């Protein structure tokens, strides 16, 4: 160690020892530790990788964004850790716009910043982040948030630059400017990075297919382990845990909190407590999506009869929801407005609930845009949303680009109608109360029409019953 390095190590060690004396958990480091911790480590030779597959796609996205904001300095932060409790943070998940524009996904560093500096020819992109600390610094062993002794190896500037084919610099050299346009602080830029994701490129579509495939395996796992869920007083948690194991082993995480809603809990649209029993004779609604390492997520719902067979009443509700889903799929075509998908599903819901005598008006009256809506009591949510890195992707897009937007090849969205008859809803016959059904698939729009990415996951009554019989043995 050089004398300069020794002096640096002594200074940072003194700082760490001083910090330890101000907390009731940290112990001061003994002198022998401080004298030896920075020595005796093997060299860390680094071979620079070839650019990753998504690097060229991310560059094209940055070029598209650059063209929208000539002469403007654009700042896209990754975000940082969020506190769960005391000194415990939630797992870090970078901002979707940051991932989309850099290609740096689940391995990205907290508090990184992508900056597009304006030039006469457009913009130059630089990725700022905190490089790993040298082992002669106290950060290496004393900082539990970023120290490699605590969290493992961290990336170097050179390695990330080669991996992403992107200029990198230390975060300490980043200086915000007064006129910066910053994602989530500037409305125009925030809308732009959201709308940029409305149409997926080839890389994104491939990742969506991978996310659906992992999710399909997770649903298989749930069915195989359904008897264990039935045997547990909080069987919904068992279902949630089984899916989590698949999402973590074959992907990065879940894209959102899993809904494992059995019996009347299926009527609560975002039931994520998952603390109820799974009872034979009931239905269980499972809304789950695996997020792969690139951070693209699936979003799929299947409603299953716990004992493997639908009752007559359950079948009637289920087949109505399936009819609505199929009608929405048929309405989804390139060139039509996105809202048309929802309207097609709601037409089925209104007509069937009217036929069952549940509405105080006719189906046509219920479908009236101004005075109707009575059928929405039983399906209050929308039928579709865009899907990608966020489960509700492109959420900051303008209405005219989203709900009133035109379907294009490359868009990925859900179709997810449902019927929900609350356990205490006196407007429906007792036999319907406590039944909730949703069927949700992930749809890719192509030039030739919609493709159901999740069609391999059984959907019809006969397919679901056969699926469960096969996997449960």
State the Cα–Cα distance between residues 165 and 102, nearest whole angstrom. Answer: 9
Helix (H/G/I), strand (E/B), else coil: 442: strand
Q: Find all residues with CB under 8 Å of 318, minimum gap 6, and list them.
A: 303, 310, 437, 439, 461
Given this model, what pLDDT does residue 9 score? 47
Vertex 23 angle, CA 21 and 26, to 5°: 80
- Compute the average pLDDT of residues 253-282: 98
pLDDT in tens, 177-219: 999 999 999 999 999 999 999 999 999 999 999 999 999 999 9
- Compute the average pLDDT of residues 427-438: 98
pLDDT in tens, 271-283: 999 999 999 999 9
Vertex 459 angle, CA 453 and 464, to 5°: 135
Stated pTM of the model: 0.93
Look up the CATH number of domain 202-472: 3.90.230.10
Say if domain 44-195 classifies as CATH 3.40.50.300: no
Whats the size of the chain, residue-wise? Answer: 473
Strand 435-438 to 441-446 pairing: unpaired
Residue ranges per structural domain of the chain: 44-195, 202-472
Higher-pLDDT residue of 167 and 133 is 167
Given this model, what pLDDT does residue 163 score? 98
- 365 C-beta neighbours (distance < 10 Å), count: 15
Longest dimension (CA), the chain: 88
pLDDT in tens, 40-70: 999 888 899 999 999 999 999 999 999 999 9
pLDDT in tens, 455-466: 999 999 999 999
Given this model, what pLDDT does residue 1 score? 43
Q: What is the full DSSP assignment across 44-90?
A: ---PPPPPPTTHHHHHHHHHHHHHHSTT--EEEE-----EEETTEEP
Nearest to 396 by CA among 142, 191, 108: 191
Nearest to 76 by CA among 100, 107, 49: 100
């Amino acid at each position: 160690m050089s004398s300069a390095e020794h002096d640096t190590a002594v200074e940072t060690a003194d700082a760490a020892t001083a910090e330890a004396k101000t907390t009731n958990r940290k112990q001061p480091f003994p002198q022998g530790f401080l004298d030896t911790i920075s020595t005796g480590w093997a060299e860390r030779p680094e071979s620079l990788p070839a650019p990753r597959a998504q690097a060229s796609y991310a560059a094209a996205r940055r070029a598209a964004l650059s063209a929208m904001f000539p002469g403007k300095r654009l700042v896209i932060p990754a975000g940082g850790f969020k506190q769960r409790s005391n000194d415990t943070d939630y797992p870090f998940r970078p901002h979707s716009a940051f991932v989309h524009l850099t290609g740096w996904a689940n391995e990205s560093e907290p508090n990184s910043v992508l900056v597009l500096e304006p030039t006469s020819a457009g913009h130059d992109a630089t990725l700022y982040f905190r490089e790993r600390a040298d082992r002669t610094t106290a950060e290496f062993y004393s900082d539990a948030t970023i120290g490699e002794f605590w969290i493992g190896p961290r990336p170097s500037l050179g390695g990330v630059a080669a991996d992403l084919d992107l200029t990198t610099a230390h975060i300490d050299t980043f200086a915000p400017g007064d006129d910066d346009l910053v994602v989530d602080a500037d409305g125009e830029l925030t809308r732009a990075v959201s709308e940029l994701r409305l149409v997926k490129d080839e890389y994104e579509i491939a990742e969506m297919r991978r996310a659906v495939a992992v999710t399909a395996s997770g649903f298989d796992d749930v069915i195989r382990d359904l008897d264990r869920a039935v045997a547990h007083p909080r069987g919904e948690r068992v279902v949630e845990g089984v899916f989590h194991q698949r999402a973590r082993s074959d992907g990065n995480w879940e894209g959102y909190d899993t809904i494992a809603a059995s019996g009347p809990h299926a009527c609560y649209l975002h039931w994520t407590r998952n603390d109820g029993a799974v009872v034979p004779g009931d239905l269980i609604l499972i809304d789950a999506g695996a997020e792969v390492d690139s951070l693209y997520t699936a979003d799929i719902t299947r409603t299953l009869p716990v004992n493997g067979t639908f009752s007559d009443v359950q079948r009637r509700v289920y087949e109505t929801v399936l009819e609505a889903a199929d009608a929405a799929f048929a309405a989804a075509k390139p060139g039509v407005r996105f809202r048309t998908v929802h309207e097609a599903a709601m037409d089925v819901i209104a007509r069937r609930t009217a036929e069952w005598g549940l509405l105080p008006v006719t189906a046509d009256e219920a479908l009236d845009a101004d005075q109707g809506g009575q059928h929405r009591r039983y399906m209050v949510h929308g039928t579709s949303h865009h899907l990608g890195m966020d489960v509700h992707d492109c959420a900051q897009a303008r209405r005219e680009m989203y709900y009133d937007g035109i379907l294009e090849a490359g868009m990925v969205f859900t179709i997810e109608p449902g019927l929900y008859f609350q356990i205490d809803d006196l407007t429906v016959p007792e036999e319907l109360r406590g039944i909730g059904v949703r069927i949700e698939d992930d749809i890719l729009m192509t030039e030739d029409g919609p493709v159901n990415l999740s069609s391999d996951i059984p959907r019809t009554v006969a397919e679901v019953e056969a699926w469960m019989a096969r996997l449960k043995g």
